Amino acid sequence: MSRKVYVAGKLVPAEQATVSVFDHGLLYGDGIFEGIRVYGGRVFLLKEHIDRLYESALAIRLQIPISHSEMTQAVEDTVKANEIADGYVRLVVTRGSGSLGLDIRRTSNPQVIVIADTISLYPPELYQTGMRLVTAATIRNHPGALSPRIKSLNYLNNIMAKIEGTDAGTVEALMLNHNGEVAECTGDNIFIVKRGVLKTPQPDAGILEGITRNAVMKLAVEAGITVQECVMTRHDIFTADECFLTGTAAEVIAVTSLDGRQIGTGKPGPVTNNLLERFRKLTRGE
């Protein structure tokens, strides 16, 4: 069955889903996106993702041509049309077509694109054994230049760090900020557990405030775990009892070493496993 893609206000076969080569999303990475999971045919935390999409648009002065409710319906219709039970939605809004220049006043017709498909996750064995990380030399973009809270189409910063990770034989890489502090990984947020306290970098460290990150923090509080958003360095990760990542695709996955240093016992820890189980129950609506 040919996938159906929502573009220009309607569902069309994937091979017919096109945008102009003059679109600023293509020419300059001028646009925003969201990645959303589908579990059991239900789009997970859809409202939170839609809200963040519109916040990103507001921050870059991009006028989305449809309402929140229409966007929600477009996502749900695309998932249904593709018969996605468990999968992934990529929601994209571009600035629209314009001239070969940076002036947004010369652009028009912003494009809303919704793609629903299956998803390639981390290998299942990594959830049993945990993953290795290396620290990328590429630092996170300075938040004073572009806020990391904007989920923009320009992910070159993350891609360059991801290349470093794959070159080192790891599936993720840790990124530091301009102060040398821990920010996040190339596509996931990072947490550590130290003496029973759950810690994660604060928003002004140069991170994207992940939807899954926030959901896991809430689950931790409900489980009676103290949660702290704070400044973190690599030393904090080296000496942590546990470490894990969160993300739309990753869910909750343990990290067992960083730059060759074993973290904790070198295996997924009890807090990590507890939160993974709670998160999976949440995705199943339990």
Q: Are 124 and 113 in contact (CB under 8 A)?
A: no
Q: Write down the catalytic residue from 4, 151, 162, 199.
A: 151
Active site residue 151: yes
- Indicate whether 286 pLDDT > 80: no
Q: Are 176 and 157 in contact (CB under 8 A)?
A: no
pLDDT band with cut points at 50, 70 and 90 for residue 285? confident
> How high is the pLDDT of residue 177?
97
pLDDT in tens, 1-17: 689 999 999 999 999 99
Joined tokens for residue 230: 């704070």
User: What percent of the chain stands above pLDDT 70?
Assistant: 99
Cβ-based neighbour number of residue 180 at 10 Å: 9
Give the span between the Cα atoms of 106 and 97, in whole angstroms. Answer: 8
> How high is the pLDDT of residue 120?
78
DSSP 97: B
> How high is the pLDDT of residue 262?
98
Mean pLDDT of the chain: 96
Sequence spans of domains, the chain = 4-117, 124-283
222: left (phi over 0), alpha (psi -120 to 50) or beta: alpha
> How high is the pLDDT of residue 1?
64
> For 124-283, CATH number?
3.20.10.10
pLDDT in tens, 117-137: 998 778 889 999 999 999 999
How, if at all, do strands 4-7 and 261-262 pair?
Answer: unpaired
231 class by beta-carbon count within 10 Å (0-12 exposed, 13-18 middle, 19+ buried): middle
Give the span between the Cα atoms of 34 and 70, in whole angstroms. Answer: 16
pLDDT in tens, 89-118: 999 999 999 989 999 999 999 999 999 999
> How high is the pLDDT of residue 35?
96
> For 4-117, CATH number?
3.30.470.10
